[in-house]
Structure 1
Amino acid sequence: MFLLLWTAVLLCEISADTGLSQKPTVVIPPLTAGQQSTLTCTAPGLCSGSAPDITWSWRGKRNNDSYITGNTTEFKTENVTAGTQRHTSALTFNPLAEHHSTSVTCKVSFRGDITTEETQTVNVSYVKEVQITGSRKVTEGETLSLNCSVESFPPSLITWAKMSESDLQEDTDTFTQDQRTGALSIYNVTAEDSGQYVCTATHLNKTHKMRNVTVTVIYIRKPQISGSTAVNEGDVLSLTCSAESFPPSVITWTKLSSNTTLNNGTGSATLVIPNVTAEHSGQYICTANHLNTTLTERVTVTLTWITEIQTGSVCELQSDVLTCWCVSEGFPLPTFKWPLLEDHTQYSVVTSVSKQTVNSTVTVRNHGNTAVECVASNENREVKANLTIQTKLPEADAGPQRGVLPWIVAGVSLTVNVLCIICIWSLWNTRKKVKPNQEDRVYMSIQKAETSEYEVITPYQT
């Protein structure tokens, strides 16, 4: 227990009618933490004799006596009238926030063990450090909840503000310090809610305390792919995949139906393939791995290519009809141009397609050319070739020879058959004029059994 005691060893006569019901007069000016102040205690009544004893005592918030460091006391005597005096004690100290709501007692003791005292509550204006509680990290879609508090007397006004790039924006919310706490709540937060927030404590119309806190929103956006997906054969394929997120995502490039990682990076990754060929066409997959979330984006790479005029492209001349075939492959499918048709009005062009192969056939009469040029092109480039002209025996000249041969064979066969018939008929007539021998008659008899001429068969007698 701390007692501030000082005693003026003076005698003060006090009459009974003065009334010890009177109490000392204690004056406490407005107190501000950290600023030196003086409390005064004046003894009741006017003394014409010795001065009374005046003591100070201090009781803390928990009803325990406390000690105030750095205090000084001063006793003053004021002559009011001839023979009467007023006695005052002054206590000077530096008030602190801990002194707020404590009690100070001034006790006056007169001769004859007569005492009187006065107790008052001390109010100290003060403001302490701003305290911010609550999670600074929140997942997108959840609720951000922060509490800003400051211990002060009288209560401070707490305001929340979000820091922009150049200055403070409008207050997000404003709270009075009724419960010494200011709650900031943002529902369904988005990435735009990330940033620096400022809690400000305004005390007695003065901004005394400010504290910043950085809020981060955990989020991820759909991966975005940039770069040309249509490239020419031999060029460089360059595609960049990025995913806006916090914390940064891990980006990985793969090709469909392949588990091979082509490239990866944090936040973004660039896929580079130099000197692309037809095999590099297809679907590529960008995968963004973010904490427990995986997002993918696909892109189809198309290669623009064309081959040279292929072997087998040729021209065939038959009579006055020229037929040419020209073959090429590519993507997009190549188109053909025949410069020789510029000087002709009668011709035919037939185009056939099989997968990426295109065959163009042109037929023209009376061409009068010694060389034929075929031109194929697509978005990639243009290819040309001079086709060889091969001469073929026309079908119109070969046709009559093939028609005469069957008639010759038929004529020879008919002549042989007629001659054979004449020979057989002549031999038959000759044999009928010769008398037959026994064997002949038997043979003839057998052959003529049904005729009357040979009804009886007898042996020939000599």
Structure 2
Amino acid sequence: MWVLISAALLLSLTERSTCDTLAAPPKASPWTITFSPAEITAEKGLCAVISCTFTHPDNIKPTAAIWFKCPASGKCDQDKNIMFHSETPSKAQKGYKQRVSLLETDLTKKNCSVIINDIRENDAGEYQFRLHSLYTYPKKVNIAVSALTQKPSVLTPALTEGEPATLTCTAPGMCSGTPPNITWRWRGTGDNITELRDNITIQERENLTTMTTTHFSTLTFTPSAEHHNMMVTCQVTFQKNFQIEETVTLNVTYVKDPQITGNEMVKEDGTLDLTCSVDSYPPSDITWSKNGTSAPLQNYTENATLTISNVTREHSGEYVCTVQHLNRTMTASTVVTVMYLPVILPGSGCVDQAEVMTCVCVSQGVPSPLIVWPLLELNTERCSLTTSVLGSSVYSTISVPVGNHNNTTVECVSRNVVGVVREKLQVTQNKSQEKQREKELEGIIALLSDLKLITAFVVGAALSATICCIFLCLNGKCERYILLLMIYD
């Protein structure tokens, strides 16, 4: 019985001892390395950063960092595969010399990160780290190389016509390798101008673990309206082989003087069409008004066409186009004239006096009408014509000898671009002149009557004297009386 109990106790102790041995944690290795990330994708022409940290025994002081580029087959940590050696740089392969550098040169900080500049296609593969000649870490990191797809960044500030501005093109990648070549290219209306810029600036930014370099170029110019909607391309070339570019479209704030087009002369009952156009960015607000009144007729944007149907004479006047562009106000104006058919006004007519007929024709219309007298076509001699204009009224006067017009009907014809009007003028006699002539005739008749009486008296007197003379002669006194008669005569 005691034998069985002893055996059971011994078996129980053996099992407990075995369980305690399996549960004990493994002893941590002092040699560890961590990659973040373990897989890296780099683009041709840019750079790749292998970010890593490592540990080592406390009694070890690291003095050199060695990186190997592993071959497709075979052992990696061999001298022929060294791509970086911090203590002896000459040991690095020719293709990697001056392309690889530590981001942290103080190895006591346990940072093994390196940057590989000017990435090439044959840089793809696995890499392994070794701490001096003490220990090669078995864990590896892989770099994949892809085509260059990143684009440069073009910074475009707000552009205003007449104000100098600067465009900035920043090359992709924060690499300290070979500086890229940056080219600016303008593409406007049919133009293709290439301009190389030498003012490439390098900026360095540094933090606790990395130091990166930025390459950028600036282009300074004074924008104008012609630059609006122009395309500007920034092209970046790495290692003379890998090119990328970015194109931006410029938006320039500008405004030109407003222009008014349309027919400023319109016939009555016709249609008035006026268009106010302004070239601007952003688009301007346009308002039409008449005679400077504040009440707008119509509001538009960019192109404003004012249309009025069945216009009347009251639509004549000044039309003002007001343009509001941001904080700037501009105006343009035009004067509209409504044309209408001539009208022969009251007061037109003819007066026949003193053997001369004078006719006056007064006509009004827009534009000013032309007055024509058909009577002048029949009487080309001894006629006079005068014309005067007062506002929209035209005064035309003709004088024709009465004996030449032969009672022809006097007609006034007035015409302008709208049409022609005709009117027969009434001919009136000057009655005051006729009465004067009648009085003169009566005076002549009266005078003739008086002459008859005087003649009779003179004849009678002469006859009486002759008889008296004869009688005296018979009495011997003739000579005296004859002498008196001779003296009297």
TM-score, normalised on structure 2? Answer: 0.57
The 5-angstrom pairing of residues 231-242 of structure 1 reads 231-242=266-277
Q: Does 1:244 align with 2:244?
A: no
Q: Who is 1:132 aligned against?
A: 153
Alpha-carbon offset, residue 207 of structure 1: 3.3
1:327 is matched with 362
User: Among residues 422, 432, 454, which one is paired with 1:384 in the alignment?
Assistant: 422
Q: Deviations over 1:307-329 (max 9, x none)?
A: 32123322333464323221111
* Structure having the larger proportion of residues in helix: 2
1:156 equivalent to 2:180? Answer: yes
User: Secondary structure at 2:77's aligned position in 1?
Assistant: strand
Alignment of 1:248-287 (within 5 A): 248-287=283-322
Aligned-partner Cα distance in 2 for 1:266–1:138 = 22
Q: What is residue 163 of structure 2 aligned with on the other side?
A: 142
**Structure 2 Cα separation of the partners of residues 105 and 175 of structure 1:** 41
What displacement does 1:190 show?
0.7
Secondary structure of the structure 2 residue equivalent to 1:398: helix
Q: Secondary structure at the match of 2:347?
A: coil
What residue is the counterpart of 2:40 in the other structure? Answer: none
Q: Is 2:342–2:366's contact at 8 Å kept on the other side of the alignment?
A: no
Structure 2 counterpart of 1:61: 103
Tell me how far 1:164 sits from its aligned partner.
Answer: 3.8
> Per the alignment, do residues 289 and 116 of structure 1 end up closer, same or farther by CA in structure 2, a change over 3 Å counting?
closer
1:241 to partner: Cα distance: 0.9
2:197 aligned counterpart, secondary structure:
strand
SS of the residue 2:439 aligns to: helix
**Any idea what the Cα deviations from partners look like across 1:410-455, whole Å, max 9, x if unmatched?**
xxxxxxxxxxxxxxxxxxxxxxxxxxxxxxxxxxxxxxxxxxxxxx
Query: Residue deviations 1:31-84, cap 9 Å, x none?
Result: xxxxx999942279xxxxxxxxxxxxxx9735554799xxxxxxxxxxxxxxxx
Pair 358,339 (structure 1): closer, same or farther in 2 beyond 3 Å: same
Q: Note if contact 2:124-2:145 (Cα within 8 Å) is conserved in structure 1.
A: no
Q: How many residues align?
A: 331
Contact 1:136 1:216 in 2 (8 A): no
**Cα distance, 1:27 vs structure 2:** 5.4
Matches within 5 A, 1:415-426: none
Partner of 1:7: none
1:224-373 to structure 2, matched below 5 A, reads 224-318=259-353, 320-344=355-379, 345-365=381-401, 366=403, 367-373=405-411
**Residue 105 (structure 1) aligned with residue 122 (structure 2):** no
Tell me the CA shift for residue 392 of structure 1.
Answer: 4.5
State how far apart, in whole Å, the 2-side matches of 1:279 and 1:160 are: 60
Q: Which has the higher strand share?
A: 1
**Secondary structure of 2:344's partner?**
coil
Unaligned segments of structure 1, at least 5 residues = 5-22, 31-35, 45-58, 69-90, 96-102, 110-114, 118-122, 409-462
Amino acid at match of 2:185: A
Q: 1:193 and 2:218 equivalent?
A: no
Cα 1:187–1:389 change in 2 (3 A) is same
Q: Are 1:217 and 2:217 an aligned pair? A: no
Taking the aligned partners of 2:75 and 2:331, their CA distance within structure 1 comes to 75
In the alignment, the residues of structure 1 paired with residue 400 and residue 112 of structure 2 have an alpha-carbon distance, to the nearest angstrom, of 122
Look up the equivalent residue of 1:380 and give its one-letter code.
V
Percent identity over paired residues: 31
Asked if 1:2 is matched to 2:33, the reply is yes
Q: Residue 288 of structure 1: CA displacement?
A: 1.1
Counterparts in 2 of 1:347 and 1:94: CA distance versus 1, 3 Å: farther
Distance 1:3 1:320, change over 3 A: closer
TM-score by length of structure 1 reads 0.61
Structure 1 SS opposite 2:436: helix
Which whole-Å CA distance do the structure 2 matches of 1:394 and 1:335 have between them? 34
RMSD: 4.1
State the one-letter code of the partner of 2:386: V
Q: Equivalents in 1 of 2:441, 2:269: separation in Å?
A: 59
2:439 to 398, 401, 407: 401
Give the drift of 1:263: 2.2
Q: Aligned partners of 2:190, 2:442: CA distance in 1, in Å? A: 106
Once the two structures are TM-superposed, the CA of residue 248 in structure 1 deviates from its matched residue by 0.8
